[in-house]
Structure 1
Amino acid sequence: MSDHPCHRRKTQTHPQSLFVKGFVSDAKKTMNRIEMGRKQQQRKSWVMFVCVTLLGAALITDLLFCWTSSSFIIPYTFNSKEKIVIVDTDKKQNVIHLSKTFADLPGPQLKWDKMTDSPVPRLDGAAIQINDQLFVFAGYGTIDLVHSHVDVYNFTSNTWGGRFDMPKEMAHSHLGMVTDGRYVYIVTGQYGPQCRGPTAHTFVLDTITKKWNDMPPLPIPRYAPATQLWRGRLHVMGGSKEDRYTPGVDHWSIAVKDGVVLEKEWRTEMPIPRGGPHRACIVVDDKLYLIGGQEGDFMAKPNSPIFKCSRRNEVVYSDVYMLDYEMKWKVLPSMPKPDSHIEFAWVVVNNSIVIAGGTTEKHPDTKKMILVGEVFQFQLDTLKWSVVGKLPYRVKTTLVGFWDGWLYFTSGQRDRGPDDPTPKKVTGEMWRTKLNLS
């Protein structure tokens, strides 16, 4: 049976059958590979889904944690300078960007005692200390109101009293002023509110008799010039020119003694290296120092009948210059940060200069003014700067005194709060702290 031709045809494999079987086998293998790839892809997608879910949950948790706090701080880079972003989520304020230049510098916290407030708030006023009395002159009450009187604070009794009027022709702000221990020499300044023009009038005050006398007018009016007594002469330097904006580098002097002017005209001296207003000017050990200040200031708006202030660009600097017996200006180490509006914010303690508050460079984005809250010390033997403390708030054009180991300050324009260093309220508060300096 097995040899029958028909049976032989049934048992033999046709070549076409072999091809179909191979094709089916290959197709099955391909389908198996596709199925395995699909399952692997599903596993990868599932893993990706789990990772994204976990990451999203972590981010949501982090945001919820941040929202429960009043603020948080994020470092980032902007214009190649390290910045800090402060976000106040409670008040929903905009982001504030502060670099190390604009942010507060680290320093010890001082214990401040609040004393008796000044009878009136003052901005851009002037102050002179004689023994335990602080004579506080002029200044803005508001942008439309200027003071034309003197208030006197007694450090010993913590009282204000002895108010008296200034001459009607005397400037009301941006004054140059210095004392010899009895007589106060007053030089030029702005006459009137808003951004009115300067006056060239100068005066001398006898603080015992409260009598005023005229002095020869300054050759050219100036705003907030640096003013000091040095080597028997009254020196007036820098400030802003008549347009209130252009920095002046002029330097004049006139001989004075015991409240009497010994010459009829001002003498031209060596110009200062850099002009501008709102700097500290100090004489210690027969050396004259110029510290900080700025170039530029607000100007009167063109054609404004009330001389309404119009904002202009300002450059605040940290420069320190010294004039000694060689009669050549020398450059000394700069302040820890640019600082202006400090013309009456300094005292000399333990062979060092102490400066409180001021203004630094404007914010690079908002262009708003940034106030200073540090107390700086410049040691005259080592020529080194340091931050010796913090004020109870940031403040500019504050008026400073020192008595019986206590550092005092009053008046000026303070910040909007701990997280906002821009200026707001004009104040008349008086504060003091025990100052211990090495």
Structure 2
Amino acid sequence: MQTFKINFLRYAPATTLWRGRLHVMGGSKENRHTPALEHWSLAVKDGKPSDKEWRTEIPIPRGGPHRACIVVNDRLFVIGGQEGDFMAKPGSPIFKCSRRNEVVYDEVYMLDDDMKWKNLPPMPKPDSHIEFAWAIVNNSIVIAGGTTEKHPITKRMVLVGEIFQFNLNTLKWSVIGKLPYRVKTTLVGFWKGWLYFTSGQRDKGPDDPSPRKVIGEMWRTKLKLNS
């Protein structure tokens, strides 16, 4: 098996296949906290690399991990994410981490034929931990759950319970529903008219949006999209 190393280590970069190339962009640097802007791509064919090395691409305007990275209509979208994350405590025998300040994004960036990043309308609220919490439905991007800005008093992580729609025809966001509970890092799919989500980490209850237990159950609902 061939391996092709990127020049630098990255934590949770946005990654997707687009136009026959594997694109890797953003994420955090080696300490997991400092955002990275670099963007590389590698040509692939039949599931194998066809380049001998990674190619440098246009840097993403704002770095950070835990974003949705989506290709639709031959355009590449990077949505949400955050700046900062847990950092390892040097020398900890139990690999303990310490928390740093985190800034959650609502930004949406797009690459198309011009190969220049474009700013699109932001999400209804900042949203992170949505790497796989999306589905493409009738020329819309649907995103479920995530995390948003910390509670202003407790400073605890706040989970998201809304279902968002980004209409690719109008480039407008809307909230089209709510999940049975708030959840982050969930997996979303759409099949035969049903929107599914499974796994992730849910909230502590209706009155406490901070994260608690990791779940394995699956839910589904019929979607009613805005035109």
TM-score bucket of the superposed structures, by smaller chain: over 0.9
Q: Distance in 1 between matches of 2:185 and 2:218?
A: 13
Q: Does 1:329 align with 2:147?
A: no
Paired amino acid for 2:8: I
Paired amino acid for 2:92: S
Q: Is the 8 A contact 1:357 1:373 kept in 2?
A: yes
Superimposed CA distance per residue, residues 31-76 of structure 1 (whole angstroms, 9 cap, x where no aligned partner): xxxxxxxxxxxxxxxxxxxxxxxxxxxxxxxxxxxxxxxxxxxxxx
Look up the match of 1:348: 136
Residue 254 of structure 1 is aligned with which of 29, 39, 42? 42
Q: Distance in 1 between matches of 2:185 and 2:6?
A: 24
Measured after TM superposition, the shift of residue 222 of structure 1 is: 1.2
Superimposed CA distance per residue, residues 389-436 of structure 1 (whole angstroms, 9 cap, x where no aligned partner): 000000000011111111111111100101110111111111111123
Look up the match of 1:224: 12
The structure having more radius of gyration, on CA atoms, is 1
Q: Is the 8 A contact 1:405 1:436 kept in 2?
A: no
Structure whose residues are more often strand by fraction: 2
Q: Is the 8 A contact 1:279 1:343 kept in 2?
A: yes
Q: Distance in 2 between matches of 1:355 and 1:262?
A: 33
Q: Is the 8 A contact 1:234 1:253 kept in 2?
A: yes
Look up the match of 1:432: 220
Superimposed CA distance per residue, residues 123-149 of structure 1 (whole angstroms, 9 cap, x where no aligned partner): xxxxxxxxxxxxxxxxxxxxxxxxxxx
Q: Distance in 2 between matches of 1:295 and 1:411?
A: 24
Measured after TM superposition, the shift of residue 214 of structure 1 is: 4.4
Identity of aligned residues (%): 79
Q: Distance in 2 between matches of 1:218 and 1:231?
A: 19
Q: Does 1:280 align with 2:68?
A: yes
Q: Distance in 2 between matches of 1:357 and 1:246?
A: 24
Q: Does 1:293 align with 2:86?
A: no
Which TM-score applies when normalising by structure 2?
A: 0.97
Q: Does 1:411 align with 2:208?
A: no
Q: Which consecutive unaligned segments of at least 5 residues does structure 1 have?
A: 1-212
Measured after TM superposition, the shift of residue 218 of structure 1 is: 2.4
Structure whose residues are more often helix by fraction: 1
Residue 164 of structure 2 is aligned with which of 376, 383, 392? 376
Superimposed CA distance per residue, residues 255-298 of structure 1 (whole angstroms, 9 cap, x where no aligned partner): 01110110111011110000000000111111111100000000
Aligned residues: 226
Q: Distance in 2 between matches of 1:407 and 1:274?
A: 30
Paired amino acid for 2:115: M
Look up the match of 1:360: 148
Q: Is the 8 A contact 2:176 2:224 kept in 1?
A: no
Q: Is the 8 A contact 1:300 1:307 kept in 2?
A: yes
Which of structure 1's runs of 4+ aligned residues deviate more than 3 A? none
Measured after TM superposition, the shift of residue 306 of structure 1 is: 2.3
Look up the match of 1:390: 178
Look up the match of 1:316: 104
Q: How does 1:179-218 map to 2 (within 5 A)?
A: 213-218=1-6
Paired amino acid for 2:218: M
Q: CA RMSD in A?
A: 1.0
Superimposed CA distance per residue, residues 275-334 of structure 1 (whole angstroms, 9 cap, x where no aligned partner): 000000111111111100000000112320222121111000100011110111110000
